[in-house]
Structure 1
Amino acid sequence: MKYLLSLFLLSIMANAQNTDFLTPYEKGNRNQTATYEETIAYFQLLDKNFETISMQEMGLTDSGEPLHMVTYNNDKNFDFKKIQKDKAVLLINNGIHPGEPDGIDATMMLFRDLALGKIKIPKNLAIVTIPIYNIGGALNRNSFSRANQNGPESYGFRGNARNYDLNRDFLKSDTRNARSFAQIFHLANPDIFIDNHVSNGADYQYTFTYIATHYQKLGGDLGKFWDSDMLPNLLSDLKKKKIESVPYVNIHDEKPDGGFDAMMDYPRYSTGFASMFNTIGSMPETHMLKDYASRVKVTYDYMAFTIEYADKNYAKIKKLRKENLQNYLPGQKYPLLWKLDPDKISSIPFLGYEGGYKPSEISGKPRLFYDRSKPFSKTIPYHKEYKPSLEVIIPEAYIVPKAWWTIIELLKINNIEMTPLEKDIELEVESYRIKDYKTSTSAYEGHYPHNTVNITTTKKKVLFKKGDFLIKTQQPGVKYLLETLEPQGNDSYFVWNFFDSVLQQKEYFSAYVFEDLAKQLLNKNPEMKAEFEKKKSEDPKFADSGEAQLDWIYRHSDYYEKSHMEYPVYRIMK
């Protein structure tokens, strides 16, 4: 009897303990998400009660509040130098778009269950989470900004405190959030990264879709391992729990029956940023029209399966990450721009709903609708394979003049190793000039980005000053350097307007003064004169414009400023 009473008391105590650690989501009606304050308070509770969990404040965000970093490690050790030596690291990011809060609630339960031993304890993996990344957006709570979403009852807003979409800011780092994220990312140096989202777009049967770091962008055997081993195993585990999945349905306001394209996650996005440092990344995209409880559950399951797989395969993942750097050595080609390969079209099974068009009750015009009473299963085209549309030769090093301190600051934030020159020195380098470019006519994430950038390349000797920065490419951030410093890259610092001052000419001439000097220049330089006359004979518009002719002579003379349109980052070749 005494033994049974003891068991009964232990059972009551255990239930009481578990009740104490219910999340706000679990205490509610399963259609409510925790507020920012509740989320931080809950992780503080876990930190206080479990030696395997540590919570610390990191850098500030645009909201004025600090980012938090929460780490679970069964060894109760939170020294990342030791962790990285012995284990793999998984980093989970939540609330980048706080109107998509599934990961916030799922991760709270996940860390609780790890601490209580409710799920298998990983011995070879430490798990790190940013509880809510977009704090400003989380504090801007409402019930209407996600017009197409089925729950929860209230949630945060997509834009951060300064109305930036943080999932476009990882490379340009306009926000404090992005700069603090980089601090966490490089401290943790994750082998695997998950950024939890909710989809927009078409209607279909799936609750769980995903954006996987494109294996070609990840590169080498690491990319192949992710595409052909790790990801299929994770999706198979989900299927065993009767959770069907499909790649993110990358279409809007049209039916997916005709197929769709795999998303190339460029470096502005979280998983694209992670791949610059050879980190395997995925972005769960639960379906917006499914109920909130179902979405939270599949988000939890995907993270739990990732933990289980990474714990078993940690050594291989770490080895492949390290080896992947050998694919990006000086003298090798690097794919800077990509395009879909039209000759390589695969197919995937797809669980959808029959769609069609009917007259809108508002406009009378045709509108798309899906009939959920008519589900279907069919095979559809899937455009997954890309091919490089522009490749560059990886240099031995870059040189960035110290005057461009804004660029140096961004590189330092992202753990790029660099050495200031010890003295003035003349070096032979490759130099770019911006030949042509186009610029967006509307604002995008605080910028008017450039596109269709064309350059010319010359070799020349340049005198560099003491304190200018030599940046060797043989370092873990080699892909980051190539993506940011090569001006034609999709998300280069040039594209994001960081070098716009070189596009403006600072000096010019008065035509009535330069006329006489221009004549002298032509008379003294027969080669220039011959080229000038040839252009006049071949170009009627040029021959008819005195202004264009004077401008041509000016630009071909020593009076034209050499810094105009010269890209101020230089390449030292192998």
Structure 2
Amino acid sequence: MLTSLLLTAALANDAHLPPLIEWQGQSENLMQTQGPLVTDFEKSGGIDSPNYEQTVAYLHALQKANPTQFSIKTIAKSNAGRDIDMLIASQDGVASAEAISLSKKPTLLIQAGIHSGEIDGKDAGFMLLRDIANGKRDDILNRVNLLFIPILNVDGHERRGEFNRINQRGPRVMGFRTNGQNLNLNRDYTKLDTPGIRAVADVVNQYRPDLYIDIHVTDGADYQYDVTYGYNPAFVSVTPKVTKALDTYVKPIIDEKLQEQGHIPGPLVFVMDKMEFKHGLAGWVAGPRYSNGWGELRHLPTILVENHSLKPYKQRVLGTYVLLDGAIDAMASNADKLAAAVKSSVQSQPKELVVELGYAKEPDFVEFKGIAYEHYFSDATKTKEVRYLGKPQNYEKLPIYWQKDIKTQVAIPKAFYIPAQYSQIIDTLKVQGVELQTVDALTSLNLTQGIIAEHEFAKSPFEGRFRVTPTMEYKTGAYTLDSSWLKVDTQQRLGLLATHLLHPEAPDSLFQWGYMHTIFQRTEYVENYALAPYAETLLKQNPELAKQYEQKLKDESFAQDADSRRAWLYANSPYYDQQYLRYPILMQY
């Protein structure tokens, strides 16, 4: 039973939050109060979540209770040296990656705690696995294999406290959003700076799951939905066949099961104006730095769950259990159809890739289950604020502004060519699972190189890196490559992901994340006593260059600036650094 001290603390931490709509659901019957595998969450009455040590202990208790079907694999060590564990559940008792990848049963990858304050998935997954271990849910492993990561961000999980998320109802003590180095793992799916996301890439490549579910808790406005989830919609997806399969074969089954158990499933959307909800919703579209955007480019059906932070922890965890159960039903019933959609998607990759989207200026309209609100003057902030009233308010036509205006679209090359000295890029591609080939010695090719005409560095670091935004020009010509170069053919399963990683105009390219900052620095210079006589000879021997120079001199500021004139002459000499501001990865069209 919940002690009066715990109850007082829980109420105190909720006092500043909007009032609740009373909830009761059939899913409450999923909780157990007796038996050796009652979870810490259940023991607390649905308000607590175990710490790392207790979590690992319970994971091993599950495995001990069902050793023929459960096994545990450490998929990585965190920066602080903690194990990141994954439980593998298979009726056949074979836990190897090869066996799971070749299994005739579909495989579901469940990931919890990427933001470890948002830990609903851990406690829901433990309840589900407990029900398998004690024989209550024998049906599950008859139909699917499960991969369960209870805490991905293990270091952030142990930065625990009662005051980590001011707008979230529980658990009473929760972890922190970022890891021990203050990096957000759900911004790391392209650059792979964290051990956790590198491990996820490895798991996906080795075990080949058929569905990937990443469980979060959302911030923002109040509304009636307790479980919201989604993926990039078909009208903006680069792999629309996979999206349509999720719409057709997965979402209806999950929604029906949630509704039957007393939950209200909703769309994955955010708010355009947090001060005025009726101004509409933001239809966010994930890029590949996020789990669901990354999964999209891999043709991997991926669902991002965002439980509603203002709903009680118990309600959210039970809703997550039901969602996972619905996903299992959907996979088991439609495995062949999902697989066929993925296969067709891989075989019909586009010739162009949209790499950046903006919000539409004109909205679409949706029905939405909101919460009534009012404005008031706050004595503390001395301005107008929003107050949600805890009463349903349904919108028949609420505006929604989707990110569907194309800002940047690139042609997908036939291949990229990477010089061997960029070993960090090559290593990252290999971890991602992108296939690379060694170039034959002295291969002559017609290739395109990007030239950085302008660039702007971010004024402050983001996710530990100083990002750069370029304006590109391109030059095509003959290049002779030797066997130190590596080729990335885009006609492969991960061709779309490779394009986003390697094209310089893609916002989540390794280039824009700062993998190639050395091309912005010059390391060889010229002395004026050598440049002046050399330039005089150069201009006499090259009439075309002399004509360009005369044209430049018509610019008054250039004509009056000796340093600018010297810089131009040096830049147009063969002594100039030919790699300065040249994108080193070549493209073949």
Letter of the 2:229 partner, please give it.
Y
**Matched position secondary structure for 1:121:** helix
**Matched position secondary structure for 1:559:** coil
Structure 1 counterpart of 2:587 = 571
Assess if the C-alpha contact under 8 Å between 1:40 and 1:131 holds in 2.
no
Structure 2 counterpart of 1:141 = 160
Structure 2 counterpart of 1:11 = none
Distance in 2 between residues matched to 1:187 and 1:96, nearest whole Å? 20
- 1:379 Cα deviation after fit: 2.7
Distance in 2 between residues matched to 1:502 and 1:239, nearest whole Å? 55
Do structure 1's residue 276 and structure 2's residue 293 form an aligned pair? no
Q: Pick one of 398, 415, 426 that aligns with 2:433.
A: 415
Distance in 1 between residues matched to 2:166 and 2:32, nearest whole Å? 39
Structure 1 counterpart of 2:562 = 546
Structure 1 counterpart of 2:267 = 247
Do structure 1's residue 44 and structure 2's residue 60 form an aligned pair? yes
- 1:491 Cα deviation after fit: 0.6
Do structure 1's residue 155 and structure 2's residue 174 form an aligned pair? yes
Letter of the 1:543 partner, please give it.
A
- 1:317 Cα deviation after fit: 0.8
Assess if the C-alpha contact under 8 Å between 1:59 and 1:183 holds in 2.
no
**1:425-457 Cα distance to aligned partner (Å, 9 max, x none):** 333222111222222101111011123x22122
Q: Which deviates further from its counterpart, 490-499 or 242-251? A: 242-251
Distance in 2 between residues matched to 1:27 and 1:374, nearest whole Å? 32
Q: Which deviates further from its counterpart, 411-420 or 97-106? A: 411-420
Structure 1 counterpart of 2:136 = 118
Matched ranges for 1:57-76 at <5 A: 57-76=74-93
Q: Pick one of 226, 233, 237 that aligns with 1:217.
A: 237
Assess if the C-alpha contact under 8 Å between 2:80 and 2:155 holds in 1.
yes
Distance in 2 between residues matched to 1:290 and 1:93, nearest whole Å? 21
Distance in 2 between residues matched to 1:456 and 1:38, nearest whole Å? 56
Aligned pairs, number: 554
Do structure 1's residue 479 and structure 2's residue 499 form an aligned pair? no
Do structure 1's residue 292 and structure 2's residue 292 form an aligned pair? no
Structure 2 counterpart of 1:182 = 201
Do structure 1's residue 500 and structure 2's residue 546 form an aligned pair? no
Distance in 1 between residues matched to 2:251 and 2:453, nearest whole Å? 42
* 233 and 374 in structure 1: CA distance in 2 versus 1, 3 angstrom threshold: closer
Structure 1 counterpart of 2:224 = 205
Q: Which deviates further from its counterpart, 540-549 or 62-71? A: 540-549
Distance in 1 between residues matched to 2:260 and 2:276, nearest whole Å? 28
Distance in 1 between residues matched to 2:527 and 2:432, nearest whole Å? 46
Distance in 1 between residues matched to 2:521 and 2:233, nearest whole Å? 37
Distance in 2 between residues matched to 1:420 and 1:307, nearest whole Å? 41
* 187 and 93 in structure 1: CA distance in 2 versus 1, 3 angstrom threshold: same
- 1:81 Cα deviation after fit: 3.2
Assess if the C-alpha contact under 8 Å between 1:202 and 1:254 holds in 2.
no
Distance in 2 between residues matched to 1:167 and 1:400, nearest whole Å? 27
**1:483-508 Cα distance to aligned partner (Å, 9 max, x none):** 10001112100110001111112222
Q: Which deviates further from its counterpart, 477-486 or 421-430? A: 421-430
**1:513-558 Cα distance to aligned partner (Å, 9 max, x none):** 4233323322222111212222332x33223322222222222221
Matched ranges for 1:398-409 at <5 A: 398-409=416-427
Do structure 1's residue 366 and structure 2's residue 384 form an aligned pair? yes
Distance in 1 between residues matched to 2:35 and 2:296, nearest whole Å? 40
Q: Which deviates further from its counterpart, 304-313 or 396-405? A: 396-405
Structure 2 counterpart of 1:226 = 246
Q: Which deviates further from its counterpart, 302-311 or 279-288? A: 279-288
Distance in 2 between residues matched to 1:110 and 1:174, nearest whole Å? 32
Distance in 1 between residues matched to 2:356 and 2:393, nearest whole Å? 38
**1:284-336 Cα distance to aligned partner (Å, 9 max, x none):** 1111111110111111111110111111001111121122112226xx22222
Do structure 1's residue 28 and structure 2's residue 49 form an aligned pair? no
Letter of the 1:173 partner, please give it.
L
Q: List runs of 5+ in structure 1 lacking aligned partners.
A: 1-14
Q: Pick one of 481, 486, 498 that aligns with 1:464.
A: 481
Q: Which deviates further from its counterpart, 68-77 or 371-380? A: 371-380
Letter of the 1:549 partner, please give it.
R
Q: Which deviates further from its counterpart, 473-482 or 305-314? A: 473-482
Do structure 1's residue 238 and structure 2's residue 258 form an aligned pair? yes
Do structure 1's residue 391 and structure 2's residue 412 form an aligned pair? no
Do structure 1's residue 338 and structure 2's residue 354 form an aligned pair? no
- 1:376 Cα deviation after fit: 4.2
Assess if the C-alpha contact under 8 Å between 1:25 and 1:31 holds in 2.
yes
**1:209-256 Cα distance to aligned partner (Å, 9 max, x none):** 224244333513222222355324422432333422322342373332
Distance in 1 between residues matched to 2:524 and 2:484, nearest whole Å? 28
Assess if the C-alpha contact under 8 Å between 1:213 and 1:281 holds in 2.
no
Letter of the 1:182 partner, please give it.
A
Assess if the C-alpha contact under 8 Å between 1:88 and 1:318 holds in 2.
no
Assess if the C-alpha contact under 8 Å between 1:97 and 1:159 holds in 2.
yes
Matched ranges for 1:345-356 at <5 A: 345-356=363-374
**Matched position secondary structure for 1:209:** strand
Letter of the 2:573 partner, please give it.
S
- 1:458 Cα deviation after fit: 1.8
Identity %: 28
- 1:368 Cα deviation after fit: 2.1
- 1:46 Cα deviation after fit: 1.6
Distance in 1 between residues matched to 2:300 and 2:276, nearest whole Å? 33
Assess if the C-alpha contact under 8 Å between 1:277 and 1:476 holds in 2.
yes
Q: Which deviates further from its counterpart, 53-62 or 306-315? A: 53-62
Structure 1 counterpart of 2:322 = 301
Distance in 1 between residues matched to 2:267 and 2:454, nearest whole Å? 37
Q: Pick one of 150, 169, 191 that aligns with 1:172.
A: 191
- 1:385 Cα deviation after fit: 6.2
Q: Which deviates further from its counterpart, 427-436 or 134-143? A: 427-436
Q: Which deviates further from its counterpart, 51-60 or 442-451? A: 51-60
Query: Under a length normalisation based on structure 1, what TM-score does the superposition of the two structures give?
Result: 0.91
Assess if the C-alpha contact under 8 Å between 1:209 and 1:246 holds in 2.
yes
Matched ranges for 1:422-433 at <5 A: 422-433=440-451
- 1:158 Cα deviation after fit: 1.4
Distance in 2 between residues matched to 1:320 and 1:174, nearest whole Å? 32
Assess if the C-alpha contact under 8 Å between 1:432 and 1:455 holds in 2.
yes
Distance in 1 between residues matched to 2:536 and 2:106, nearest whole Å? 70
Distance in 2 between residues matched to 1:242 and 1:130, nearest whole Å? 27
**1:147-202 Cα distance to aligned partner (Å, 9 max, x none):** 22111110111121212111111111112222222222212222211111111111
* 43 and 561 in structure 1: CA distance in 2 versus 1, 3 angstrom threshold: same
Assess if the C-alpha contact under 8 Å between 1:141 and 1:156 holds in 2.
yes
* 530 and 353 in structure 1: CA distance in 2 versus 1, 3 angstrom threshold: same
Structure 1 counterpart of 2:336 = 315
Distance in 1 between residues matched to 2:81 and 2:165, nearest whole Å? 25
* 472 and 134 in structure 1: CA distance in 2 versus 1, 3 angstrom threshold: same
Distance in 2 between residues matched to 1:89 and 1:375, nearest whole Å? 39
Assess if the C-alpha contact under 8 Å between 2:377 and 2:385 holds in 1.
yes
